[in-house]
Chains A and B, each alone.
Chain A
Amino acid sequence: MRLFRSKKLLLSVTACIISVLTVVGLIFAASGSDSQSKQQSAEQSSEPSTAQQATVKPASVKVATAGTPVASGLPDERTFKPLVENQRLQLKVDASTGHFLVVNKQTGDVWRSFPNPKNWKEKSNTAAWKDHLASPFMFRYVEFNIRKDLLKESNLIAQKGTVSQFEATEHGFKIQYELPELGFSIPVEVTLGDDFVETKVLSEGLKDEKVYTAEELKTKKKDPLARLVSIRLFPFLGAQTSDEEDGFLLIPDGSGALIDFKKYRAGTQNLYTERVYGDDWAYSNRNIMSERKAIKMPFFGIKSANQAMVGVIREGDDYANVVAAPSGSFSQYNWATAEFEYRFKFFQPTDTKKKNGYLMYSKEITKSDRSVRYYFIDQSEVDYAQMADRYRQYLIDEQGLKPLQGKNADMKLQLHILGADTETGFLWDSYLPLTTTVEAKEIVQELGALGVDDMSITYLGWQNGGFSKFGGAFPVGSKIGGNEGMQQFIDFAHTSGFPVYLDASSYTFNNTGKDGFRVKRDGLRDLGSSVIEFNSWDDQRTTFVSPKFMQKVIQDDLQDAKDLMVDGYMYGQGVGNQLNTDYNEDHKVSREESMHIQQEIMNQTKQSLGNVQVADGNLYTLPYVNHMHNMFASNSYDLFVDRAIPFTQMVLHGLVTYSFDYANLSDDYEESFLKGIEYGAVPSYIVTYAKPQELLKSINLDQFYSTYYKDWIQEIVSQYQRYTEALGDVQGEFIVNHRELAHGVFETTYAHGKRIIVNYNETPYNLDTQHVVKARDFVVMKGGA
Chain B
Amino acid sequence: MKNNHSRRKFAIWFVCLMTITLFPTAAFADVPYRTFTKDSYGRTIMTQPAYAPKGVIARDIPSLNKQGEVSYTPLQRPQDLFIDRQDHIYIADTDNNRIIHLDPSGELVRIITLPESPLNQPQGVFVTENGDLFIADTGNKRVVHTDKEGRLVQELKRPKSSFMNDQFVYEPTNMVVDKRGFIYVVSKGSYNGIIEFDPEGNFLKFFGTNKTEVNLMDKIRRQFYTKEQLSRQVRLLPVTIRNIEIDDQGFIYTVSGSKSEQVKKLNIRGEDLWKEKDIDFDKNKAYRRTSSEPIEPQLTDVSVDQNGNIIMIDKSRNIISQYDENGELLFYWSGSSTTGNSLIGLTKAPTAVATNSRNEVFILDEALNLVQVYKPTEFGSTVQAAYKFMQDGKYLEGEKYWTKVLKLNAHFSPAFQGIAQAAFYREDYELARDMFKLAGDEGGFSDSFWQLRLGWFQKNFSIFANVLIVLAVLIWILGLLKRKYKFRILPKTPLLDRQRWYQQFKHVFYILKHPIDGFGDLRYRQKGSYISALILLILTLVMILVKTFYSSFTFNPVPDYEKGASSMLIIFMSVWLSWVVCNYLIGSIRQGEARFKDVFMGSSYALFPVVLFGLPLALISNGLTLSEASIYHSIEWAMLLWSGLLFFWNIQAMQNYGVGETVVNILLTGVTMMILWIMIFILVGLSSEFSNFIYTIYQEVSM
Contacts and interface: CB of A to CB of B under 8 A. Distances in A.
B285 interface: no
Given A531-B9, A537-B288, A637-B53, A505 B14 contact: no
A293 B22 CA distance: 14
A506 B342 contact: no
A325 to B, nearest CB: 13
A57 interface: no
Contacts of A577: 21
Given A291-B337, A705-B48, A572 B11 contact: no
A566 to B, nearest CB: 17
Interface in A544-571: 570
A506 B378 contact: no
A630 B27 CA distance: 6
A705 B409 contact: yes
A289 interface: yes
B407 A541 contact: no
Contacts of B8: 353
Interface string A623-634: 000000010111
Interface string B544-577: 0000000000000000110111100000000000
B122 to A, nearest CB: 22
A584 to B, nearest CB: 13
Interface string A288-302: 111111000000000
Given A702-B45, A703-B26, A706-B408, A530 B342 contact: no
Given A615-B24, A662-B25, A291 B32 contact: yes
Given A668-B52, A692-B406, A697-B561, A533 B10 contact: yes
Given A286-B12, A352-B699, A637 B343 contact: yes
A669 B48 CA distance: 11
Contacts of B564: 424-426
Contact of A667 (B31, B74, B344): B31
A351 interface: yes
B378 A669 contact: yes
B692 A288 contact: no
B338 interface: yes
A293 B28 contact: yes
Contacts of A700: 23
B410 interface: yes
B338 A706 contact: no
B72 interface: yes
Nearest to B12: A286
A638 interface: yes
B56 A639 contact: yes
B188 to A, nearest CB: 30
A775 B408 CA distance: 23
Contacts of A351: 696
B345 A637 contact: yes
A706 B407 contact: yes
Contacts of A286: 11-12
A86 B14 CA distance: 53
Interface in A652-689: 660-662, 665-670, 686
Contact of B561 (A535, A578, A636, A699): A699
Interface in B561-606: 561, 563-566
B411 to A, nearest CB: 6
Contacts of B345: 637
B431 to A, nearest CB: 13
A762 to B, nearest CB: 11
A243 to B, nearest CB: 16
A426 B566 contact: yes
A536 interface: yes
B695 interface: yes
Contacts of A754: none
- Residue of A572, A573, A639, A640 with most partner-chain B CB within 10 A: A639
Contact of B289 (A505, A533, A535, A636): A535
Interface in B40-61: 45-49, 52-53, 56, 59-60
B438 A693 contact: yes
B25 A615 contact: yes
A673 to B, nearest CB: 12
A482 B19 CA distance: 30
Given A533-B10, A705-B47, A352 B695 contact: yes
Contacts of B6: 352-353
A692 B343 contact: no
B46 A702 contact: yes
A291 B30 contact: no
Contacts of A670: 378
A535 B287 CA distance: 13
A636 B32 contact: yes
B226 interface: no
A633 B30 CA distance: 8
Interface in A689-714: 691-693, 695-697, 699-700, 702-708, 711
A4 interface: no
A259 B8 CA distance: 46
Contact residues on B (Cβ < 8 Å of other chain), bracket: 35 or more
B377 interface: yes
A758 interface: no
Contact of A541 (B10, B30, B695): B10
B18 A534 contact: yes
B339 A637 contact: no
Contacts of A406: none
B447 to A, nearest CB: 21
Contacts of A578: 21
A532 interface: yes
Contacts of A293: 28
Contacts of A666: 30, 48
A667 B34 CA distance: 11
Nearest to A273: B341
Interface string A170-197: 0000000000000000000000000000
Contacts of B19: 537, 703
Contacts of A582: none
A413 to B, nearest CB: 16
A291 B341 contact: yes
B343 A427 contact: no
A426 B563 contact: yes
Given A354-B10, A632-B28, A702 B696 contact: no
B21 A705 contact: no
Contacts of B27: 615-616, 630, 632, 660-661
Interface string B319-347: 00000000000000000011101111110
B17 interface: yes
Given A637-B344, A667-B29, A705-B48, A353 B407 contact: no
Given A266-B59, A667-B49, A705-B409, A697 B9 contact: no
Contacts of A707: 410
Contacts of B692: 352-353
B30 A634 contact: yes
Nearest to B692: A352
A256 to B, nearest CB: 15
A11 to B, nearest CB: 21
Nearest to B569: A426
6 contacts: A352-B6, A460-B25, A639-B344, A666-B30, A667-B29, A667-B48
Interface of A: 264, 266-267, 284-286, 288-293, 351-354, 416, 423-427, 460, 467, 503, 505-506, 526, 530-537, 541, 570, 572-573, 577-578, 615-616, 630, 632-634, 636-640, 660-662, 665-670, 686, 691-693, 695-697, 699-700, 702-708, 711
Q: Which 6 A-B pairs have the closest CB atoms?
A: A692-B410, A505-B24, A705-B409, A426-B564, A630-B27, A637-B344
Interface of B: 5-6, 8-15, 17-19, 21-32, 45-49, 52-53, 56, 59-60, 72, 74, 288-289, 337-339, 341-346, 370, 377-379, 406-412, 438, 560-561, 563-566, 692, 695-696, 699
Given A266-B60, A531-B10, 9 more contacts: A285-B12, A467-B23, A533-B10, A630-B24, A637-B53, A667-B29, A692-B406, A695-B411, A703-B23
